Amino acid sequence: MSDESWIRLLMFVGVLAVMSVWQMAAPKRELTQGYRRWPANLGIVMLDSLVVRLLIPAGAMGAALWAAENGWGLFNLVELPGWAAVVVAVILLDMVIYAQHVLVHAVPLLWRLHMVHHSDRDIDVTTGLRFHPLEIIFSMLIKMSVVILLGVPALAVLIFEVVLNGMAMFNHSNVRLPKAVDTIIRILFVTPDMHRVHHSIIKQETNSNYGFNLSIWDRLFGTYIAQPEKGHQGMTIGLTQFLDQPAHQLIWMLRLPFYGDMGQYPMMKFGRGPEKGDSDAG
């Protein structure tokens, strides 16, 4: 735990570097906006980190340590082997993140914040870092509450946050995977081709594939669409009302929740929708 900050930083830089090189060497799609989005996308993640450090310095790790010291939460009341508690906690936290993602699509006020993520005109590794600071604060408060209620072990929190951050960069990356490899990986984990569907301007596709790490939640709760209607090469990324806006600018991103047109507000509805077959890999 004493090396937590270094572990997070090294994993972040390592995954960002690997995915950046990979998507340059084997891109899935040609970027419409090029790399002019990168300064703002990387700038907002640095701002997010600063805001969280200033406002909620303890974070989810601090919440886990506090719960352990005070005997709060399910895992502090039920006796489980240490490894089992960590595995179960990581899986439960992943389900919570899935539910949170559905929530920010379903609640108009939260969707205003989440529009910053979806307004990116391209999707690549930096899109996985593009979130408004207010959404990051909301997410951290949800995470801390769940950690305390469940009494999640501190090690599980560290593993989960490192994996979630890495997977967010992986599944937003503009990388080309062989269809057979993608099919195998997405049995359990979210792949770039699977999550790219979620960034389509088509409303039904925006309301699908909410998972960031495990793919089982979308299948279980009926929000899974295998492939985009227009194929990966023909689909349009972003939000319709912002296609002609300077979505690559940091100031524009920070102001968006307060003045942006909600336009294609998803109006999330629960229930199993039609699945697109894996044959139209595009």
139 occurs within a structural domain: yes
pLDDT of residue 259: 86
Q: Which band of pLDDT confidence, cut at 50, 70 and 90, is reported for residue 280?
A: very low
In a domain? residue 202: no
Asked whether residue 280 is domain-assigned, the answer is: no
The verdict on residue 116 lying in a domain is yes
- Orientation angle between helical segments 133-150 and 38-55, nearest 10 degrees: 50
User: Is-above-0.85 flag for pTM?
Assistant: yes
- Residue 84 included in any domain: yes
Is the pLDDT score of 159 beyond 80? Answer: yes
pLDDT at 276: 47
> What's the pLDDT score for residue 82?
86
209-238 tens-digit pLDDT: 999 999 999 999 999 999 999 999 999 999
Q: How confident is the model at residue 266 (pLDDT cuts 50, 70, 90)?
A: low
Q: In the predicted model, what is the mean pLDDT of residues 182-200?
A: 97
- Report the pLDDT averaged over residues 73-96: 92
Per-residue pLDDT averaged across 43-54, rounded?
A: 96
Question: Distance of CA 270 to CAs 112, 208, 218, Å?
Answer: 20, 10, 11
Which of 214, 91, 59 has the alpha carbon at shortest distance from 159?
Answer: 91
For the chain, what percent of residues have pLDDT higher than 70?
92
Does residue 201 belong to any structural domain of this protein?
no
pLDDT at position 272: 45
pLDDT(80) > 90? no
Nearest CA to 15 out of 134, 204, 163 is that of 163
Can you tell me the distance from the alpha carbon of 82 to that of 75, in angstroms, rounded to the nearest whole number? 10
Give the mean model confidence (pLDDT) for residues 178-203: 97
Q: The domain containing residue 149 runs over which residues? A: 40-175+246-259
Check pLDDT > 60 for residue 92. Answer: yes
Between CA 189 and CA 211 the distance in angstroms is 9
Residue 253 belongs to a domain? yes
The predicted-structure confidence for 122-152, as pLDDT tens digits, reads as follows 999 999 999 999 999 999 999 999 999 999 9
Total structural domains within the chain = 1
Question: Considering the domain boundaries, does residue 75 fall inside one?
Answer: yes
| DSSP H helices in 56-81 | 59-70
